[in-house]
Structure 1
Amino acid sequence: MLAVAEIHYIRYEANQKGCSYSDIAKRMNRDPRTVKKYAEMEDFNPSKVKQTRKAKVMDPVKPILDQWIKEDLTKKKKYRRTAKRMYEILKEEYGFTGSDRSVRLYVSKRKQELLEQSESAALPLESKPATAQVDFGEAPFLYQGKYVDFPYLVVSFPYSNAAYVQVMPAQNQECFLEGLKRIFHYIGGVPRVIRFDNLTPAVKTILPNGERELTETFQRFVLHYGFECEFCNPASGNE
C-alpha cells in the first residue's frame, strides 16, 4: 500500500482537480493502474495487522492521559477524573499494566505543565466558510429525571455560528467516527477543512517537530470522506 501522503495526493489531483491518471502517474513515477486503483478506492482497511514494537509501559497511555487532563480542566471540579480513577479506567479498558503511582506522578506533572501553558494570551481566529471544528468530550445531561454524564461530539462552523451535537454511548474511536459520519449525513456534506484538538481517537502521538502521527483508522476515515485536517497546538485551549 502506498504512503498516506501519496494516496491523498492521488485522490486530490484526480477527484478534485480532475487530472488524468496517466498525467498523475507520470509526475509520481507510478503505474497508471496504481493511480487508478487508489483514486477509485473506497475501502482503506489494511489487509493485515502490522506488528508494532513494544513500548515502555507509560508511553502508550500518555496521549490518553493528556487528553483526559485537558478535558477535565474545562469542567467543574466535581466532574473531573481523579488520578486514581484514570488509573482504574486504563487498567479496565486499555489493559494497562503499570502502577497506580506511575499514573499519579504523570498526571500531577502534566496538570501543572498544562496549566502553565494555558496562561498564554488568546489569539483571535479568522473563520472561513466550509471550515469546521470538532470537540469530543463529556458533560452532564438530564436523562430520565437525573443528570447523567454522557460523551458528546460537537461539530461547529465558526463562520456561520452553526453547530451540530451528537450524544454518544462511549468516548472511544468507534463512537467518535460514527458521530462524525452521522453529522456529515445529516448536513448533507463534508467540510473542506476540519480543525481538531489532539483527540486520542485521531492522533496517535505528537512528534517532536509538531507533526501528528494519526491512527490508521482515522487516516482511512479522512481518505474516505476527503477532508483536510488541522490540529490545535498541545494544551492550547485558547485556540
Structure 2
Amino acid sequence: MDIIYEIRRRHSIQKQSISAIARDMGLSRPTVRKHLNTITEPKYEREQPASPKLGPFEEQLTTWLEEESKLIRSRRRSAHRLFEGLQEIGYIGAYDSVQRYVKRWKSSKHGPKITEAFVPLVFQPGDACQFDWSQEQVELGGVLQTIKVAHFRLAYSRQMFVVAYPREMQEMVLDAHSRAFTFFGGVPARLIYDNLKTVVDAVFVGKERQFNRRFLTLANHYLFEPVACTPASGWEKGQVENQVGNVREWLFTPLARFTSFADLNHWLATRCKELALRSHPLQTQRTIAECFADEQPALRPITASFDGYVEQMMRVSSTCLVRVDRNRYSVPASAAGQAVSVRITADQVRVVAHGEIIAAHSRVFGRDLLICDPWHYLPVLEKKPGALRNGAPFVDWELPKSIRLVRDKILKQPKGDRAFVELLMLAGEAGLDALAVACELTLEAGVVSAPIVMNELRRLIAPHLPAAAIHVPDGIALTIEPIANCHRYDYLLGANNVH
C-alpha cells in the first residue's frame, strides 16, 4: 500500500508523468497506470506452498486419513504419527508439510474450527493436582481389551502419573490415588475433579457438592481438599484434559501390547519419568523433572498408606461362596450361612468375620467365574468324602505330582475317599510340602496305602527330642558301684525247670 500511495502522490501533487514515476521508482509504466486507478488496499491470494517431497506420498496419506476417519477418535493417528508412518515407507520431507496437508484435508471435510477463548491459570508449587479418566485399547496376553486409565497431573511442575485398570470403579479411584501419591512422594493441597459418580454423590448450586463418604475417608487420610469442577467446564482442569490426548498419542498409539496389567503399569510409570525430561511449557529453559524437584518439597509427606477398599455386607451361601462383581469367591466352611464383611480393592477380595480376615483372593474381572480355595472345604469333606471326586474346588486343584500319584492309587482302594481325606486333614496342619515328601517316600517304598503315607507324615512332623547330655548332681553319685551277678538268672531257670 506504501508504493500505491507514493505513485498517486507524485502524479496528483507533484504532477510527474507516468514515465518519470516509472523511471524514478524502478517500475514499469503498466504497473504505474494500474496503481493510479487503485483506491482500496489490494488483496493477494496466497498460493499453497509447494511440497515436492510429499507429492508422491499424498495418495497414501489421503488413504490413511480416509480409513481412520471411520474409526473412533481415540484410535486415529495424529499428524505426527502419520508423519512417522510416511517416514517408514521412504518419505524424507519435513513434518510441517504433512501437518499442513492433514489440516487442509480435515478443513475440507469438517469446515473451519471455532476457537474458544480461555483465561490462563497460574498455580503455586504443591498447590493443585488435576485428575481425570480416559478409555484406551491395549492388547493384554494376546487379547484386545478396552481399559480405563487414571490420569494425574501436578499443575505447577506438569509432572504426570498414569495407571491402568480393567474398570472405572471406586476402589480403582482409591488405589490410583495411593499409587500417585507414592509416585510423587507426597500429597498436594488440592485435587481437582470432574463430577465423577465415584467421587461426588450430589451436585448442588455453584461449587457445593456432596462427596462420597468413602472418598472423603481417603481425603481425610491424606488431608487434601477435593474440588469439583463446574459441570461441562473442562477448562477448569485443562492441563489433564490435554494430557489425556497426549498420552493416547505417546503411549497407546500404535497399539500397546503387554502380558498383564502389572507389566503395563510398570511401563507406564517408567514412561512418566522419561517424559518428564521434556521442556516445561512455561519455564522453557528447564525440564519438567527439574520443576518437579522444586515442587516436591512443597508436597505433604505421606505418613501412612491407605487401605483403599470398598466394603459390602454379604451372607455366605450354603456352598461357602460370596458373590462379588458377577464372580464367586470361596469362604471357609465354618462361615457358611453367616453375615460377613467383604472388602474389595482394585486387585483383591478379602472376607472379614468377627474382626479377622478369614479369606483372601486375587480379584478377577471376567464373568461367572468360580474362585475356590480347596482348604476352605476340608471340614465339609470330612463329612462328605464322596465330594472329593467331583467337587469343583478339587477337580482343578494343582497338587504336587507325588500327591496326585498317591491320590489316584488310594482312590482305587476300598474306602479310598475317606482315607485320602484323612491325609488332607493332617496336611492342613502340616502343610502340602510335608505331605508331598511323605508321598515321595511311600512311592519309593513301592507299597501305597493311606496308613503308610500317614505314618511317614507323622514321622516328618514329629518333634525331635534334644540330644543334650543328662547332668547328674554330685550329691547323688554312687560311692560303691554294684557288681553284676548273672548267677541269679540261673536260679530263675532252675525254678522254671522245677515247674
Normalising by structure 2, we get a TM-score of 0.24
Larger radius of gyration: 2
* Higher normalized contact order (CA 8 Å, seq sep 6+, divided by chain length): 1
Normalising by structure 1, we get a TM-score of 0.47
